[in-house]
């Protein structure tokens, strides 16, 4: 395949929307990317225009994004960039950009985060956390 993958750094621009698409969960969120440029003349940093993208995450990543991302969070999103062209109500052709996320994470240059693994069910049907808690309790006794 000749797909272009990109990495974007920005902030979540609103609440994550989780919906069902066929058999899969899909999370959608707005991503605001504001480049900063250094200007020698004024010896200062200046914000350029904010660029907006729609992030799409599927299946397990969708559920993790829904649980983890909040408006204003600094994130890094890596995935496939898609351009969608459509005509708005005023008859003007508009192009929007979506990134079909492969991975999403908090941008640790902007703050800290706590990673929590989701509980998984082993073949026996018990949750791993419950099984390990029982083993620890047995070992302590």
Q: What is the pLDDT of residues 58-109, one digit of tens each?
A: 999 999 999 999 999 999 999 999 999 999 999 999 999 999 999 999 999 9
For residue 12, which of 41, 44, 52 has the smallest C-alpha distance?
Answer: 52
- State the pairing for strand pair 5-12/17-21: unpaired
Whole-angstrom distance, CA of residue 103 vs CA of residue 78: 5
Q: Are 12 and 69 in contact (CB under 8 A)?
A: yes
- State the pairing for strand pair 36-39/24-33: unpaired
14 three-state secondary structure: coil
Q: Domain 5-112 classified CATH 2.40.50.140?
A: yes
Q: Are 105 and 76 in contact (CB under 8 A)?
A: yes
**pTM assigned to the model:** 0.76
pLDDT of residue 123: 65
Q: Please give the distance of CA 102 from its chain centroid, rounded to a whole number.
A: 9
């Amino acid at each position: 395949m000749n797909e272009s993958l990109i990495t974007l750094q920005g902030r979540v621009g609103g609440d994550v929307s989780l919906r069902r698409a066929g058999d899969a969960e899909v999370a959608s969120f707005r991503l605001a990317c504001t480049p900063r440029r250094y200007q020698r003349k004024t010896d200062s940093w200046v914000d350029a225009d904010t660029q907006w993208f729609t992030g799409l995450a599927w299946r397990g990543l969708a559920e993790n994004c829904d649980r983890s991302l909040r408006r204003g969070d600094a994130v890094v999103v890596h995935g496939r960039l898609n351009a969608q062209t459509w005509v708005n109500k005023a008859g003007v052709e508009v192009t929007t950009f979506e990134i079909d996320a492969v991975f999403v994470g908090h941008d640790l240059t902007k703050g800290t985060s706590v990673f929590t693994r989701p509980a998984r069910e082993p073949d026996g049907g018990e949750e791993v956390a419950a099984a390990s808690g029982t083993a620890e309790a047995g070992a302590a006794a």
